[in-house]
């Protein structure tokens, strides 16, 4: 039986219809499942945190490869099927909770007493892709890597080089904390129900230390956020609107840092944002 038939049968048997509110698009493409597992580079020394296991398609493969798989699933309707499929595996654990509310730091630390690495693997629910990725990065979790399926357009924004085309504030966080790469393109026909847009799998390898060291990390990210709130405006105007100084003092700063006075925030590199944040952090408190 192929994965499409198997998925349809499981859905019928457990009376499951995909719930849009939970971003449910179930994988039915064996090649993509294998591609995700391969990109995650899993061994028996690893604990995998799978966000949103759904019917357990990816989980079944993860359980064969990993020392332990901790699934975090919000939808109660998935619990019976996950239990029935995997209760015989002693390396399977299921947490029925919103991933955004789980104390991941504690979960990871506990598991690192028994395993070498913790890796996140998921076909993410699209409606909360950004909050999940930001939580994983900003909580400074002791993770080795994050391998996730996201919408194609989002994937491109995440792996784009800061200062490149079509970036977002999140692009800077990704490059600050990780080495990102696009792994595989995934057509929308790889899921049921089939979403409107294509997807991509990305792999984020966590850096031991952030790529750069701004004097004041909070200020650094605050400036990036403000620059991207009005990304079509010049950087200097967004800084004035954000109360980082008057035009004259900010022009003096950009001149001293050798940054074009007319540049838009979205064209800045990670290092240029660092220079600005470091300069402003020595001027006054923001
Ligand atoms: N892993 C399955 C697959 O690939 O076929 C399902 C992926 S589906 C795109 C996203 C899954 O995330 C669904 O099972 C959904 O119920 C679950 N989910 C949605 N919001 C969640 C949240 N806040 N916390 C944990 N799981 C969530």
Ordered DSSP codes for 74-117: --GGGHHHHHHHHTT-TTEEEE-S-GGGS-HHHHHHHHTTT-SE
Return the higher-pLDDT residue of 282 and 180: 180
Q: What is the mean pLDDT of residues 62-88?
A: 98
Amino acid 286: pLDDT: 56
Write the pLDDT tens digit of every residue in 275-286: 999 999 988 655
150-168: average pLDDT: 96
pLDDT at 1 over 90: no
By most ligand atoms within 8 Å of CB, the mutation choice from 125, 149, 154, 193 for ligand 1 is 125
Position 179 confidence tier, pLDDT thresholds 50, 70, 90? very high
Single out the residue of 244, 243, 279 nearest to residue 259, CA to CA: 279
Q: What percent of the chain has pLDDT over 70?
A: 99
Token pair belonging to 62: 């993860």
- C-beta of residue 18 within 8 angstroms of C-beta of residue 26: yes
Please state the atom number of ligand 1 nearest to the C-alpha of residue 126. 9
Residue of higher predicted confidence among 26 and 231? 26
- Say what the pTM is: 0.96
**Residue nearest to ligand 1 atom 17, measured at CA:** 52
Mutate to test the pocket of ligand 1, among 11, 26, 74, 103 (most ligand atoms within 8 A of CB): 74
Average pLDDT score, the chain: 96
51 Rama sector, left if φ>0, alpha if ψ -120 to 50, beta otherwise: beta
Residues 251, 256, 262, CA angle at the centre, nearest 5°?
40
> What is the Å distance from ligand 1's center to 276 Cα?
39
- Residue 94: pLDDT above 80? yes
In tens, the pLDDT along 9-22 reads 999 999 999 999 99
Q: Which atom of ligand 1 is nearest to the CA of 53?
A: 1
Ligand 1 centroid vs 235 CA: distance in angstroms? 38
Domains and CATH numbers, the chain: 3-206 (3.40.50.150), 217-283 (1.10.8.100)
Nearest atom, ligand 1, residue 28 CA: 5
How high is the pLDDT of residue 229? 92
- Directed axis angle between helix 247-256 and helix 270-283, to 10°? 130
Strands (E), the chain: 26-27, 46-51, 68-72, 92-95, 117-123, 145-151, 178-186, 191-192, 199-206
C-alpha to C-alpha distance for 23 and 85, rounded to whole angstroms: 22
Nearest residue (CA) to ligand 1, atom 20: 22
Query: d(Cα 248, Cα 257) in Å, to the nearest integer?
Result: 14
57 pocket-lining for ligand 1 (C-beta < 6 Å): yes
Q: How many helices (H) and strands (E) does the chain have?
A: 12, 9
Q: In whole angstroms, what is the distance from residue 5 CA to residue 177 CA? A: 40
């Amino acid at each position: 039986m192929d994965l499409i038939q198997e998925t349809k049968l499981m859905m019928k048997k457990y009376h499951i219809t995909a719930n849009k509110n939970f971003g449910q698009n179930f994988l039915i493409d064996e090649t993509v499942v294998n591609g995700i597992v391969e990109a995650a580079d899993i061994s028996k020394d690893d604990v995998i945190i799978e966000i949103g296991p759904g019917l357990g398609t990816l989980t079944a493969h993860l359980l064969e490869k990993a020392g332990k798989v901790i699934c975090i699933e919000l939808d109660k309707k998935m619990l019976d099927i996950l239990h029935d499929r995997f209760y015989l595996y002693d390396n399977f654990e299921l947490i029925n909770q919103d991933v955004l509310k789980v104390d991941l730091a504690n979960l990871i630390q506990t598991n690192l007493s028994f395993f070498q690495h913790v890796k996140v693997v998921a076909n993410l629910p699209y409606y909360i892709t950004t909050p999940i990725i930001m939580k994983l990065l900003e909580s400074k979790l002791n993770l080795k890597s994050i391998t996730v399926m996201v919408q194609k357009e989002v994937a491109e924004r995440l792996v784009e080089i800061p200062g490149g085309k079509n970036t977002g504030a999140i692009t800077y966080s990704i490059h600050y904390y990780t080495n990102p790469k696009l792994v595989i393109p995934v057509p929308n026909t790889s899921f049921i129900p089939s979403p409107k847009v294509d997807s991509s799998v990305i792999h984020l390898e966590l850096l031991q230390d952030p790529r750069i060291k701004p004097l004041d990390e909070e200020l650094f990210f605050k400036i990036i956020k403000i620059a991207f709130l009005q990304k079509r405006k010049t950087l200097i105007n967004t800084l004035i609107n954000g109360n980082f100084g008057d035009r004259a003092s900010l022009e003096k700063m950009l001149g001293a840092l050798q940054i074009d006075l007319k540049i838009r925030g979205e064209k800045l590199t990670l290092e240029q944002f660092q220079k600005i944040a470091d300069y402003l952090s020595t001027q006054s408190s923001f």
